[in-house]
Amino acid sequence: MTAFDDWRARSPFYDETHEALAQSVRRFVEREIAPHIDRWEAEGELPRALHKKAAEAGILGLRYPEQYGGHSEGFDNFHGLVLTEELAAVGAGGLGASLMTHGIGLPPILALGSEELKQRVAPPVLAGEKIIALGITEAGGGSDVANLKTTAVRDGDDYVVNGGKMFITSGMRADWLTCAVRTGGPGAGGISLLLIDMDAPGVERSRLDKMGWRCSDTAAIHFGDVRVPATNLIGPENGGFIGIMRNFNSERLGMAMGCCAYARVALAEAAEWAQNRETFGKPLVGHQSIRIKLADMERQIEATQAWVDLCAWQVKTGKDRPADFAMLKVQATRMLEAVAREAAQVLGGASYITGSKVERIYREVRVNAIGGGSEEIMLDLAGRQLFGGR
């Protein structure tokens, strides 16, 4: 059995700087996260203090502009993949989803927002003082982003927002919400992005209970005549759809990397169990059927990781295309589902008892296959982009 992170040493995309980052994040996880993750899972959210500690450790600001409090000099997107890998070590997907929620809430502001808005929002978020979330999905819309219903009507120096968002990661703790709203006519051309203060009058939030990602608070949010300053408009009015779409590609690459990381965690736990558990007078790994399972799990992980790294390289060199991210996400989530299942088979009854990482990862398979775009939507998107069709 190879070491948890040995794969990087055999890859042309990673060097000593990536390994140095891995060691730094690993120490942080062992010190600040691993001893508490089970309690946070039970409580249903992460403490706000963890964001401050992660900022001080350089985790929150990794690959964000220096002028806003980030750390971008000398870091590439493979450093981001390493960060995802190391945060996965505790086997709780809600950790990365919630602690790094600014990874989907902040980029639209940095890409499209005014300089005043960037200066007002980015520094406190990257310092761990404020939490920002992304509000796209609606109860009746799901992946049909172009037809979202939440409205924002201009009234003097404000927009008045009415409607709601569903399944919002960090929605209960968020100070700000980067929110997709309809400011114009039907379709993608009528969508804008607004930064909404979540303490504004008329904002109501309800906590959602979930089967997985339990330490990540998830909310249903309702807006009733919420007044938002027009200066909080992110980019041009009716020009928000492109900001949403460009966000999805990086989100899907990150989710695919997360699937590889959690699959490796599941494989590592299954392999350790197989080496120490005795059945019929010999270690479980002494049985051919178990060795075949472990090897097949490794095969699927390695193949998917190779595609993740290729897509990351294509982004880095400007050779990426959206269809690849859509197909990669499907490949990664199906791989994780297969690996988690086989890991559970190796652990047997132990995988059904709370306490193993495999048990938790198995419960979190579905959120990866649905969140960020369902398998069906992803494959249709790729099919239309590659082969044509309406």
| Residue positions annotated with a catalytic role | 251
Cβ contacts of 305 within 8 Å, gap of 6 or more: 7, 260
Decide: helix, strand or coil at residue 88: helix
Task: Measure CA of the first residue to CA of the last residue in the chain; give whole Å.
Answer: 47
Q: What is the separation of C-alpha 99 from the centre of its chain, rounded to a whole number of angstroms? A: 10
Kindly state the DSSP code that residue 103 receives in the 8-state scheme: H
Q: CA 279, 284, 286: angle at the middle one, nearest 5?
A: 110
- Long-range CB contact pairs, 34-41, < 8 A, 24+: 34/89, 34/90, 37/90, 37/92, 37/95, 37/215, 40/92, 40/95, 40/215, 41/92, 41/94, 41/214, 41/215, 41/360
Q: Which amino acid is at 149?
A: K
* C-alpha span between 347 and 352 (Å, rounded): 9
* C-alpha span between 341 and 369 (Å, rounded): 14
CA dihedral 217, 223, 227, 228 (to 10 degrees): 50
Decide: helix, strand or coil at residue 227: strand
* C-alpha span between 281 and 285 (Å, rounded): 12
Tell which phi-psi region holds residue 273, choosing left (phi > 0), alpha (psi between -120 and 50) or beta.
Answer: alpha
